[in-house]
Amino acid sequence: MDLTHSERARTQVVTIQDVARAAGVSPATVSRVFNGGNVTPARVQSVQQAAAALGFAPNRLARSLRKQRSSVIALLIPDIENPFFTSLARGVEDAAQRTSLSVVLCNSDEDTDKERRYLEVALGEQMAGVIVAAASQDETDLGPLIARGVPVVAVDRRPRDAEVDAVRLDDRHGGEAATRHLLRAGYRRIACITGPQGASTSEERLAGHREALRAAGPGRGADDAYVRHADFRVEGGRAAMRDLLSLPEPPDAVFVANNLMTIGVLDALREAGLTPPGTGVLSFGDVPWASLVRPSLSAVELPSYELGRTAADLLLQRIEGGAAPLQTVVLRTTLQVRESTGGPAGR
């Protein structure tokens, strides 16, 4: 016996593909309609009418998507050797372990081509969701994932104009607090070694540094002679500090915008016969040995584990079919003052 279209809908599970075919749109469009995406009013009406005719309720969409996708989420980070991202990954994994989801860790090496290939794999393998610390603010492209309705959360670094949930640090506040502390300690020629141009974290930490200098007096934030961009790695910090020390008037303090570059900075100072606090050093991002070295290292402490856990919690909400507005969660940093910024009198 032949069944009508509506009778078939009552005798079997209606999928997102069924609704898409009936409405004459793509499955991604159906996903965006029920998850608050950007869809024209005409298509919204078409999808809603098709869903009503088929007996398809919005909560079925989440179940349908979960059945089609794996129980694996991807975590893309730019540097697996950085303790900050190791702790972040642990936060993601611990949150995911509370569910049936597993985590695949992908290391982009700050390489947008490598990152793109990982994103393509996540899409091709129909992973349940993706958490990404973007390799580039301008070049990281999350569009294909968003178009296919894959839940995405940007963590630490957010690509420009990406319409996804995000969890990040208050980088600007941390950079401002660091430089303000160096000024109060008596340093006057304060350098900033920040990360690659185009990375949101690099630009925000540098912006906070400049804001503190501007607040200290006229012209303090206008001179870029003491600003260097590096690669967020040990050798980059070492090379940048060597360059700064070659200036006619070398800096008497340096704010270093990540923990690995700080190791290179300390090595360059040692080569030059200089030590903190005579030349002040303050790191954005603590390291396990910061309080053990002598002099102990001042640092902006970062809630890296909490950053990962919060990102995973947001992603799990989306995977479960949440249609709430997009969220951006900002976590504050804490300044930990130790011996390396005791003031230029320690020279």
pLDDT tens track for 11-46: 355 677 788 889 998 877 777 777 656 678 888 888
What is the average pLDDT across 195-223? 84
Distance CA 292, CA 111 (A): 34
- Paired strand residues for 281: 254
User: Does residue 216 have a pLDDT over 80?
Assistant: yes
User: Does residue 228 have a pLDDT over 90?
Assistant: yes
pLDDT at residue number 93: 94
More confident residue, 63 or 303: 303
pLDDT at residue number 8: 39
User: Does residue 69 have a pLDDT over 60?
Assistant: no
User: Does residue 217 have a pLDDT over 90?
Assistant: no
Structural contact between residues 133 and 156, judged by C-beta atoms closer than 8 angstroms: yes
Lowest mean pLDDT among 65-79, 123-137, 192-206, 333-347: 65-79
Distance CA 207, CA 150 (A): 33
| 295: phi then psi, degrees, rounded to nearest 5 | -75, 150
Residues 6+ positions from 114 with CB-CB distance below 8 Å:
108, 135
pLDDT tier at 222, thresholds 50, 70, 90: low
Mean pLDDT of the chain: 86
* Max CA pair span of the chain: 94
Distance CA 34, CA 286 (A): 42
User: Does residue 233 have a pLDDT over 80?
Assistant: yes
pLDDT tens track for 131-190: 999 988 788 889 899 888 899 999 998 787 788 999 999 999 999 999 999 999 999 999
pLDDT at residue number 347: 47
Which strands make up the sheet holding 280-284, listed edge to edge? Answer: 227-229, 190-194, 253-256, 280-284, 298-301, 334-336
pLDDT at residue number 303: 95
What is the average pLDDT across 92-116? 91
More confident residue, 48 or 73: 73
User: Does residue 219 have a pLDDT over 70?
Assistant: no
pLDDT tens track for 72-85: 999 999 999 888 99
pLDDT at residue number 3: 37
* Exposure string for 259-298, b = 16+ CB within 10 A, e = fewer: bbbbbbbbbbbeeeebbbbbbbbbbbbbbeebeeeebbbb
User: Does residue 126 have a pLDDT over 80?
Assistant: yes
pLDDT at residue number 197: 86
pLDDT tens track for 251-293: 999 999 999 999 999 999 999 999 999 999 999 998 777 777 8
